[in-house]
A = this chain, B = another copy of it.
Amino acid sequence: MRGYDKHAFEPFAVTVDLAVLTLRAGALHVLLVERGQEPYAGRWALPGGFLLPEESAETAARRELAEETGLADVTGLHLEQLRTYSEPARDPRMRVVSVAFAALLPNPPEPRGGGDAAEARWVPYDKAQGLAFDHDRILADARDRVGAKLEYTCLATAFCPAEFTLGELQGVYETVWGTALDRPNFRRKVLATPGFVEPVPGAARLTGGRGKPAALYRAGPATSLHPPLPRTPREGRPA
């Protein structure tokens, strides 16, 4: 079977599924929708939908992201293809091949209900279990990918608003990894990485609570982290 040509081919339905992750109240949350129809009626699922005839998977994913979050502008958001799930039995009705994406949001908006009656809701990651289809697996893969990329990329700023403190940035790592990091060491490492964060020159303080006001930073132009930020600050699993 060389070069697509010789044989008849089976038509497949192609969808995108989105693991939209954000931080709310110091916990990792994922956007879920409640299914209205069979199969899996009443179960929670990752938002997603069919590819339109003239769309790439990336285009469809960004369209779905806008629809489900209700955000007017999703162009700046981090959207990343995870992998494609194609087990023959993953949808009981027919062959559905799904291209999965992970999306990262800074300030989580309240999800609006889309055009249909399905409900969308932010759910803590730990409670997002028993999802429809193979979405448990997709969601776990998304978290693994994001956690891994925090180590060697500057992805963490995608969870933060335009201006943020180093404490907030550290909270991203601690929340996604589930480990505590030493604050002075984290600070030293981040500031020593050129282009990771840039200080906001003028108004360099922000406070919502107690303690000394923290300086504000913006995301810098760097995308990779060399050497990586290790996952083992106090406790941690071995290699």
Chain A interface (Cβ within 8 Å of chain B)? 1-7, 9-15, 33, 35-37, 40, 45, 47-58, 64, 67-68, 81, 83-84, 86-88, 91, 95-97, 99, 114, 116, 118, 120, 132, 152, 193-194, 222, 224-228, 230, 238-239
> How many copies of this kind of chain does the complex include?
2
> Can you list 18 residue pairs at the A/B interface with Cβ under 8 Å?
A2-B68, A2-B114, A2-B116, A2-B118, A2-B120, A3-B36, A3-B118, A3-B132, A10-B50, A11-B11, A14-B14, A56-B87, A57-B97, A81-B84, A83-B84, A97-B99, A152-B152, A228-B228
| CB neighbours of A67 from chain B (8 A) | 1
Q: How far is the CA of A12 from the CA of B88 in the complex (A)?
A: 15
The residue that A47 contacts in the complex, of B2, B10, B194, with Cβ under 8 A, is B2
Knowing A45-B3, A47-B2, A49-B4 are in contact, say whether A86-B64 is a contact too (CB < 8 A).
no
Q: How far is the CA of A233 from the CA of B45 in the complex (A)?
A: 47
The residue that A230 contacts in the complex, of B11, B64, B225, B227, with Cβ under 8 A, is B227
Q: How far is the CA of A116 from the CA of B194 in the complex (A)?
A: 54
Q: How far is the CA of A96 from the CA of B70 in the complex (A)?
A: 30
Tell me whether chain A's interface is mostly helix, strand or loop, or mixed.
loop
Q: How far is the CA of A116 from the CA of B4 in the complex (A)?
A: 12
| CB neighbours of A54 from chain B (8 A) | 88
| CB neighbours of A10 from chain B (8 A) | 14, 50-53
Q: Do B2 and A56 have beta carbons less than 8 Å apart?
A: no
Q: Do A50 and B7 have beta carbons less than 8 Å apart?
A: yes
| CB neighbours of A224 from chain B (8 A) | 239
| CB neighbours of A57 from chain B (8 A) | 84, 86, 97
Which of A10, A68, A84 has the largest number of chain B CB atoms within 10 A? A84
The residue that A64 contacts in the complex, of B1, B5, B55, with Cβ under 8 A, is B1
The residue that A227 contacts in the complex, of B13, B86, B227, with Cβ under 8 A, is B227
| CB neighbours of A58 from chain B (8 A) | 86
From A100, which residue of chain B is reached at the shortest CB distance?
Answer: B84
Which of A49, A55, A87 has the largest number of chain B CB atoms within 10 A? A49
Q: How far is the CA of A152 from the CA of B226 in the complex (A)?
A: 12
Q: How far is the CA of A5 from the CA of B194 in the complex (A)?
A: 48
